[in-house]
Amino acid sequence: MINYLIAIFTFVLIYAMLALGLNLQWGFTGLVNLGHVGFFAIGAYTSALLAKAGVPFALSLAVAILLAGFAGTLLAMTTLRLKEDFLAIVTLGFSEILRLFLLNESWLTGGANGIIDIPRPIRRLIGQHYYEIFYLLMLAAVLLLVFLFLERLRLSPYGRMLRAIREDEIVAATAGKNVFRSKVQVFTLGASLAGLAGVFYAHYLSYIAPEMFVPLVSINVWVALIAGGSGNNKGAILGAFVLMGFLESTRFVKDFIPMLSGFRLAAVREILVGLSLILIMIYKQEGVLPEEKILS
């Protein structure tokens, strides 16, 4: 039971990191990114392939973050002049093209079989008995650093500029702000955070495959962010806890309703997530923790 709870909290923290990256893009700046899972996959596969080749964890982590950020920069520079609805479609298409690439280029990614036996960092030094809790604490420390950095950014003049762009980019541009450059920077940073989450995801599971990076992952991150409170870093983390707690608790529905098993249970869980989001949007439109107003 303890190992199960540790695993759940580990996945919660990974989703929290994804939610923080999306919150930077959408909550702070108003950028609609439905392809967040694509950068998550880039981080996971890059680190996994490098680790399998014998590259140290720290270096593979750094390269994975940089590559995810570079992919975010390229996508941002070619799409951020589009309107919100077109941007959403393009980012979703990007993630699906990437997933199909991972699925078909088996010479590099292992294809549908994925990558197995991904090394877990400093496992030999820690030992098997305490490794799970060590990994959880290491991930929590990284998440705390990310949270503190984003909070400092939120309270800075740069953060206020991002919110000005979100509210009215024409006014921000009139005030002399380089709107396009700021959007590219934010999109790149959010993609890098998704890549960071992908690294910890891959090394924790020791196995990744293309079906792990479907659009539903991006939708779940959006649900976590909206439920927790868009524009609030604490809300993004809380939303991840609420979402993952909800998804895991519904696994036990089959114990009370025997006919729900396999695909039926998966469908019911997705329906319940959708209904929960509808209720939140009706009764708590700003999320559980609304965005905090900053006094100038």
How far is C-alpha 48 from the geometric centre of its chain's CA atoms?
18
Q: Mark out the alpha helices in 231-288 (DSSP H runs).
A: 233-249, 263-283
Higher pLDDT, 248 or 89: 89
3-state helix, strand, coil split of the chain in percent (to 5) is 80, 0, 20
Q: What is the pLDDT of residues 128-180, one digit of tens each?
A: 788 999 999 999 999 999 999 999 999 999 999 999 999 998 899 998 999 99
Question: Is the CB of residue 196 less than 8 Å from the CB of residue 43?
Answer: yes
Q: What is the pLDDT of residues 9-38, one digit of tens each?
A: 999 999 999 999 999 999 999 999 999 999
Q: Is 162 in a helix, a strand, or coil?
A: helix
How would you class 39 by CB atoms within 10 Å of its CB: exposed for 0-12, middle for 13-18, buried for 19 or more? buried
Query: How much of the chain exceeds pLDDT 90, in percent?
Result: 70
Q: Measured between alpha carbons, how far is 147 from 182 in angstroms, rounded to an integer?
A: 20
Q: Where are the domains of the chain?
A: 2-214
